[in-house]
Structures are given as C-alpha cells and as structure tokens.
C-alpha cells in the first residue's frame, strides 16, 4: 500500500478547511502550494506514443487517476471534468486552451492504449489518456501519492480496483495547485480552475 507523504496530508487538510473564492487569502496561495506531488514520468498515450511529463510543460494539467473498467466513479468523474472543460471553452477559451485534462490508468494490465482511447474520447476531444507498464504506472502513482489495489477476481475473471479519487490541478511547471472538486459537478470544477489557473 502506498504511504501518503506528510506534506500531502497537510495540504489536503488545508484544502478541506480553507474557504475558496477570489476574495479570500487562498486565492493568493494555492492549497497545494509546496506539496510534494508530481514528478517526471514516461508513459504511453492513447495512440501508442511514448509521452513524458516534459511534453505538458507550459500547460496547466488536470491529473486524474482511475481505470476504464470502473463501473461508476471514474466515468462520472471524467464526465464532470470533460463538462467543466467545455464550460471553460465557452466562457474563457484562452484559459481552456492552456489546460490539458489527463487520465492515467491504475489498471495497466487491462487498459491498453486502444481501450484508453475509446474511454477518454467519450469525455473530451483533448483529453489525454495514459497507460504503461505496471512498473511505470507504479512509479507515477508514487510521484502523485496515489493509492490503488486490485480487488478479488469475480467468477468470470473480472475485478475491481480500489483507488484514490483526487483530481489534481497542476501548474505549467508541473507543480500542484489544488484538488478539484469533481464530486461537486462541472461548474464547481470550472470555478476552481478559474481561481487557481492564472
């Protein structure tokens, strides 16, 4: 089981307890500023191309970890993130163009590039889906303080994966800014992006 870093837990506590909005102190200091979240990675995108973290330099990133065979939470969260991106494209297209939504699988055994492509294309045309070897996925999970664990197999051979549900907003340099409230709907996600991506 992945252990969460103290700085990450402190940042989560701050994010949960602090009010957000353009007129509060948190607008000056992002909730996850200084947290040790994120780092270099080399994975494979939905088109089978090798991708590194450096290819996202200069762009804000929404980093979400899940798996395509998830029966409920992951598709719901991806739908919310995709809808938030479409809202931003309508209200602030310049900002939306600077944001890349990224889905990283925690189930690389089943989530091949082709399967990931089918999944992410359902939510937003610019959503990037990433997979890789089990070792590469474990490495990126560690960098982003993500927990996941494969559940027991069903009689048909399928299985669920328990995993962290956070959606990180990362700055153009790959540093963490905030946890996005994807559980509160697209408008809440779009509003928080407008606060921290500036």
Quick: pLDDT tens for 139-164: 999 999 999 999 988 888 899 999 99
Q: What average pLDDT is seen over the chain?
A: 89
Q: pLDDT tens-digit profile of 58-106?
A: 999 999 999 999 999 999 999 999 999 999 999 999 999 999 999 999 9
* Cβ-contact 143, 38 below 8 angstroms: yes
**pTM of the predicted model, to two decimals?**
0.85
d(CA 90, CA 86): 6
pLDDT band per the 50, 70, 90 thresholds, residue 16 = very low
CB 64 within 8 Å of CB 81: yes
What percentage of the chain has pLDDT greater than the value 70?
86
Q: Please name the CATH architecture into which domain 6-150+159-196 falls.
A: 3-Layer(aba) Sandwich (3.40)
Tokens 């990450």 sit on residue = 8
Within 10 angstroms of residue 148's Cβ, the number of other Cβ atoms is: 19
Q: How confident is the model at residue 30 (pLDDT cuts 50, 70, 90)?
A: very high
The Cα–Cα gap between 133 and 140 comes to: 11
Strand partners, 99: 60
Q: CA separation (Å) from 4 to 33, 67, 164, 180?
A: 16, 21, 11, 18
Task: Determine the pLDDT at residue 92.
Answer: 97
């Amino acid at each position: 089981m992945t252990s969460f870093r103290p700085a990450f837990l402190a940042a989560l506590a701050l994010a949960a307890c602090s009010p957000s909005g353009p007129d509060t102190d948190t607008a000056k200091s992002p909730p996850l500023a200084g947290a040790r979240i994120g780092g270099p990675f080399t994975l494979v995108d939905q088109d089978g191309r090798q991708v590194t973290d450096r290819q996202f330099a200069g762009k804000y990133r929404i980093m979400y970890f899940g798996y395509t065979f998830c029966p409920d939470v992951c598709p719901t969260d991806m739908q919310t993130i995709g809808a938030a991106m479409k809202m931003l494209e309508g209200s602030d297209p310049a900002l939306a163009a600077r944001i890349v939504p990224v889905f990283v699988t925690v189930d690389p055994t089943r989530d091949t590039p082709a399967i990931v492509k089918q999944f992410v294309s359902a939510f937003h045309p610019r959503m990037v889906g990433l997979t890789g070897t089990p070792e590469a996925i474990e490495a990126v999970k560690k960098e982003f303080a993500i927990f996941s664990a494969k559940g027991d197999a069903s009689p048909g051979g399928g299985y669920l994966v328990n995993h962290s549900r956070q959606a990180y907003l990362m700055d153009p340099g790959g540093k963490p800014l905030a946890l996005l409230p994807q559980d509160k709907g697209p408008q809440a996600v779009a509003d928080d992006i407008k606060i921290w991506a500036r």
